[in-house]
Amino acid sequence: MSAPIASSAKTAVPSAAAGAVAEPAKVGIMLLNLGTPDGTAYKPMWRYLREFLSDPRVIELNKAIWYPILYGLVLTTRPQKSGANYERIWNREKNESPLHTFTRAQAEKLAQALADLPNVKVGWAMRYGNPSTASVAKALVEAGCDRILTFPLYPQYSATTTATANDQLFRALMKMRRAPAIRSVPPYYDEPVYIDALARSIERHLATLDFEPEVVLTSYHGIPKAYSEKGDPYFEQCLRTTQLLRERLGWDERKMFATFQSRFGAQEWLQPYTDKTVEKLAHEGVKSMAILNPGFSVDCIETLDEIGREVREEFEAAGGEKFSHIPCLNDSEEGMAVIEAMVRRELGGWV
């Protein structure tokens, strides 16, 4: 595993001689993504799923109700199934998941892009799994950072993503005697640079296809409907992203609309569901379709396997003929333009 911290500029090491001037304090930037297992076998999958599904921000059920289900059923069966899904998309060259590969690349490219800013260090961490949020926060502080800008890589805010990522960082700070000052990049679901990056990535991808999709769905990771009813703004922000993207592309609501995927358990989740929508459209005669995932900053199990394989198979089984998954922004030129623009804006007054 490569180091999760990179310097954007070289700084001189101060002399240890008496009277030497102390090196200026540094500013740390921490890209925070959801997380990934360390491997596809049962044990690493079990560890990852246990950490993820034990998060009260993700599963809001009372522990007395949820833990017997988690440890009695979910963690005895789901690691094998999830491991098989990860195995299909695993980066064998680096022996890691694509989410791990792309998040590292984003951090490395961001460090290069910020080479004009002295004393800035860029780190990358996971909410669940490795490199852990605590270890990267500790490394940034030990590298001399007395301020950290955290960047949860979720365009749309949800308590299940952005909030829990920041929670984890503050848990790490609670154990530090000298904790750094913290800022967090806000949701960027309606930022012009983000909408434009999505639009350009769509246009570039569609130009490579031998067909023009009749429908282009924007599929977002779902959350239970009850979370939205309690005040989580995620649903509205997803719809706003799709609206702005549709307007930017000059399409109508028949050509592009939002759906929600990855539901878990028996309760109702945000609708319309991606899989059910795809089946319905195919039954109604839609023969060609493309899907993108604007809620994911990088491609991962939910985009590459769930959409790229499962949903594709469902579309074809229902009568669809041509299907394409549009990649996430990842570490593309468009994607890095979004990250750099947001970071430079939020660093105002610190550099």
Q: What is the CATH number of the domain that holds 246?
A: 3.40.50.1400
Provide the phi-psi class of 259: left if phi over 0, else alpha when psi is between -120 and 50, else beta.
beta
**Residue 63, in any domain of the structure:** yes
Domain co-membership, 302 together with 340: no
- pLDDT above 50 (res 226): yes
pLDDT tier, 23 (very low <50, low <70, confident <90, very high otherwise): low
Domain co-membership, 160 together with 19: yes
Instruction: Look up tokens 């800013």; give the residue.
Output: 117
> Quick check: 343 and 114 in contact, CB under 8 A?
yes
**Residue 271, in any domain of the structure:** yes
**Residue 136, in any domain of the structure:** yes
User: Which residues participate in the annotated binding site?
Assistant: 221, 302
Q: Which residues contact 260 (CB under 8 A, 6 or more apart)?
A: 219, 220, 221, 222, 238, 269, 270, 271, 272, 273, 274
Domain co-membership, 37 together with 157: yes
- Residue 16's pLDDT is 44
Radius of gyration of the CA atoms of the chain, in A: 21
The three-class DSSP label of residue 151 is strand
Domain co-membership, 181 together with 200: no
Query: What range does the domain containing 21 cover?
Result: 5-188+333-346
Domain co-membership, 223 together with 184: no
Q: Count the Cβ atoms, other than its own, within 10 Å of residue 32.
A: 27
**Residue 104, in any domain of the structure:** yes
Question: What's the CA gap between 327 and 220, in Å, rounded?
Answer: 13
Domain co-membership, 251 together with 239: yes
Domain co-membership, 140 together with 256: no
Helix or strand holding residue 78 (H, E)? helix 75-89
Domain co-membership, 132 together with 237: no
Domain co-membership, 291 together with 242: yes
- pLDDT above 90 (res 9): no
Mean pLDDT value across the chain = 94
Give mean pLDDT, residues 241-263.
Answer: 98
This prediction has a pTM of 0.92
Q: What is the pLDDT of residues 283-342, one digit of tens each?
A: 999 999 999 999 999 999 999 999 999 999 999 999 999 999 999 999 999 999 999 999
- pLDDT above 50 (res 12): no
Nearest of 176, 184, 101, 100 to residue 140 by alpha carbon: 176
Domain co-membership, 210 together with 317: yes
Domain co-membership, 165 together with 210: no
Domain co-membership, 79 together with 227: no
Tally of domains in the chain: 2
Q: Which residues contact 281 (CB under 8 A, 6 or more apart)?
A: 215, 289, 315, 320
**Residue 68, in any domain of the structure:** yes
Report in angstroms the alpha-carbon separations of 225 from 155, 164, 271: 19, 18, 8
Q: Which residues contact 146 (CB under 8 A, 6 or more apart)?
A: 25, 26, 180, 181
- pLDDT above 60 (res 20): no
**Residue 351, in any domain of the structure:** no
Report the percentage of the chain scoring pLDDT > 90: 92
Q: Count the Cβ atoms, other than its own, within 10 Å of residue 181.
A: 11
User: Which residues participate in the annotated binding site for Fe(2+)?
Assistant: 221, 302
- Residue 22's pLDDT is 52
**Residue 278, in any domain of the structure:** yes
